[in-house]
Structures are given as C-alpha cells and as structure tokens.
Amino acid sequence: MNYQELEEICKKVCELVKQTGAYIKGHMDDQHATEFFEKGIHDFVTRVDKASEQMLVDGLSEILPGSGIMAEEDVANTVNKAYMWIIDPLDGTTNFIHSIPIYSISIALTHNNSTVLGVVYEINMQECFYAWQGSRAFLNGKEIAVSDTGNMDHALFATGFPYYDYSRMAPYMELFSYLARNTSGLRRLGSAAVDLAYVACGRFEGFYEYGLHAWDVAAGSFIVQQAGGKVCDFGGGENFVYGGEIIATNNVIFNTFYSTVKQFFK
C-alpha cells in the first residue's frame, strides 16, 4: 500500500472515529448506557464500549475489506491477516463511567505486525491525532511535534497506575517518587492513548506504564514516532506494542529518562 492510499484510509478512519465519538459522548449521561460489569479485576466494560466497537468494526471493514481485527471487547476478532486493525473503542472506560471528560478512541493499522497508521481521538475536546507511514503527525489538520525540553527539572510526565498486575508495584512507586521530586510533575489522565498523543504534540515530555495491551498503545506510540519522538519497552527494545510496557518521550530527553526507568525496573 502506497503513501497516497494510506493517507486516504487515514482520512476515512478520522471521519469514522468522529462519528463514533459523537455517539459515545451522547451517552455519557445515560445511566443505562454507563451501567458496567467487570470483565476482570478493576477492568470494566459498558454497553457503549460494545456498541462503539461494533460501529468501528463495521466501518473499518468497509474502509479496508479483507482486513483483520484485534479489538478489546472481542466483537469480531480475526487473526492471521496481512493487514490488521487494532482497536480500543473506549480507552478510559472508568473515566467515562464517572463522567470524567478524558477518554478516547484508539485505532492502529498494522501490516505484517508493523504499524503503518495510527489515529487517537480524544472525544471531549474533539481532538483527532493521526499519522500514517511516511507522514508527519497531525492534530485536527495541523502538523504536530514532540517538545524540545531536555531538562528533567522542566519536564512533565504522564503515567498510569497498575490496576491488575501488582507484581512490580514496588519499583513503580519508587520511580514515581523519584520523578515527583526531580521533574516538573506527573499526571495520570486515565487513557494511555491520550497520554501518548499528548507526548506527540508536546504537552508531555514523556510517558511510561506497564500492564498495557496492544490496543492501548499501538496507535499512540506510532503517532509519537511520526512526531519525532522515541518509544521503547523497559529493556530498551521494540516490544512495546505487545510486550505490556512502554516508554515514550521526546527525542532530547529519551536517554536520560530511559536510564532513570532502567535504574528502578532492572
């Protein structure tokens, strides 16, 4: 698939997430729609998650017929396709349940396990972050880039608290404490996709978290890279989409921040 074809697909995906996002936001105050059940420890799903995922699956299947699906809520998962969509229909479900206005849709397209397109749509501010293979990164039509802050004292970081895997809680809290004392601050927004999008546009200098899934990070990590940032797993490798852990920063602060994380997660 060439540059122009990917660009056209990306435009169609952006329109699809905006339509789906309007549906999600329209149900935020609907008590019936926000009723939830636990699919795992501290892991919630609502009727809106399921319905929005079906909307995305149907739309993406039309945009790229014959493609496969990896989706959080298992509406239509298929495997062993050259082109695969990785979908999170509502990243930040807990925020949505509590009417906290930070949640998003995250969609990535991979070709033979390599990401070639990413879209993150923050629904409440109607901010659509996107990129495709060979492009720069964009926010609502304007080119974005990671920040150029290289001083840890001036850097703002984002993270997410572990909610089911507490096996590395001790080093996580030690790192959190260190960063609280040696940076401009830490934020926990509740949507990894938004955290990564905010790194891509320079609002955060970096983001780190463990216990994540591919649908949480596939799109956002790609957008960070296309915006000039760097991404790795806690070991400095490239298994950040499927490996459950991620570091994403601007280009300047990467080595310092990675070395810091490595001190605690040995």
CA atoms within 13 A on the CB side of 81: 17
Sorted by where each begins, the domain ranges of the chain are 3-144, 152-264
Check residue 162 and give its pLDDT.
81
Grouping H, G, I as helix, E, B as strand and the rest as coil, residue 139 is strand
Model pLDDT for residues 76-100, shown as the tens digit of each residue: 667 679 999 999 999 999 899 888 9
Name which CATH class applies to 152-264.
alpha beta
Copy the structure tokens of residue 241.
């989409």
DSSP structure string for 82-144: SEEEEEEEEETHHHHHTT-S--EEEEEEEETTEEEEEEEEETTTTEEEEEETTS-EEETTEEE
pLDDT digits (tens, 9 = 90+) for 204-241: 999 999 999 999 999 999 999 999 999 999 999 999 99
Give the pLDDT confidence of 20-53 residue by residue, as tens digits.
Answer: 999 999 887 665 545 555 554 444 467 888 889 9
- Which CATH code is given to the segment(s) 3-144? 3.30.540.10
The pLDDT tens digits for 143-160 are 999 999 999 999 999 999
Q: Pick from 236, 243, 240: which is nearest to 265 by CA?
A: 236
What confidence score (pLDDT) does residue 41 get? 47
Question: What's the rounded Cα separation, in Å, for the pair 127 and 120?
Answer: 8
From 73-77, 102-106, 120-124, the region with the lowest mean pLDDT: 73-77
